[in-house]
Amino acid sequence: MTPAPSTARPLSSGTRLPAVAGMASALLAAACAIGIAADELRGTPAGTIEGHPGIARSPRHTTTAAGHAGDAINVAFIGSEEELHRTLAAAGWYAADPITLSTSIRIAADVVLNKPYPHAPVSDLYLWGRKQDAAFEQPVGDSPKQRHHVRFWKSRELDSNSEPLWLGAATYDERVEISRTTGGITHKIGPDIDQERNKLVRDAVQAGALDGYYWVDRFHAVTEGRNGGGDPYFTDRRLAIGVIDLRR
């Protein structure tokens, strides 16, 4: 399915801007995406913008190892792998540790003992037949029970600047449960995935890491769904795309 024409929020001027047409050029060149408030990310977009070529064939949902629908794709960034890691670090997000016996034991113990674990591992989800290429989180409180987190997958398609698209699924872990199938720790996500999408983009903007951001309207066909763990979620159906610029 081809997504609806992309619609844009204001972007600062820069050499990495996607192609623009008509009035959008003036709007994008004159405006700056600094100091964005949370509700501003929900505002009515202005102008039209051509998106990254990786969007056209982008899956809309991740899958679990068993092939069931997982978390919805709701955010993306354009830039190199190094730029993605630097952007998330500047925005106050921590790279997740890989899943090992040691990290699995630690997250279980830290949940029970209410101890912080900013780099706690995340479970594997799949896109394009492979698990996430990178994952980040932002702790909430002193326990890994609650956290903001996002997984990213790198597109094979590059844009005119030879940059990949990093498709992401951002969600909020609001509590933990014991898995009935594995006996391990399982997080349950909050239903408002748009709020998590908006927070991640806002954090990146406030860190001064983006040239700007734009939207792909009607990226999702439906406004509600469930992830692989059966957790319900709702969305305005839009994909937010941030254009990384760390050269300033």
- What's the number of domains the chain is made of? 1
Region 45-57 average pLDDT: 67
- Give me 111's structure tokens: 């949940």
Query: Is residue 156 scored above 90 in pLDDT?
Result: yes
> Could you give the CA distance from residue 177 to residue 148 in angstroms, rounded to a whole number?
17
Q: How confident is the model at residue 226 (pLDDT cuts 50, 70, 90)?
A: very high
Q: Which residue has the tokens 């591992």?
A: 121
Residue-by-residue DSSP string for 112-129: HHT---TT------EETT
pLDDT digit string, tens, across residues 162-185: 999 999 999 998 866 655 444 455
Distance spanning both ends of the chain, measured CA to CA: 37
Which residue range forms the structural domain that includes residue 80? 6-244
Region 50-70 average pLDDT: 90
φ/ψ region of 145 (left if φ > 0, alpha if ψ in -120 to 50, else beta) reads: alpha
Domain-located, residue 195: yes
Neighbours of 122 (CB within 10 A): 21
Q: Are 133 and 109 in contact (CB under 8 A)?
A: no
Domain-located, residue 1: no
How far is C-alpha 83 from the geometric centre of its chain's CA atoms? 15
- Please give the torsion angle defined by the CA atoms of residues 216, 218, 86 and 64, in that order, rounded to the nearest 10 degrees: -150
Domain-located, residue 142: yes
- Give me 158's structure tokens: 């590059």
> Could you give the CA distance from residue 183 to residue 178 in angstroms, rounded to a whole number?
6
pLDDT of the residue at 11 = 40
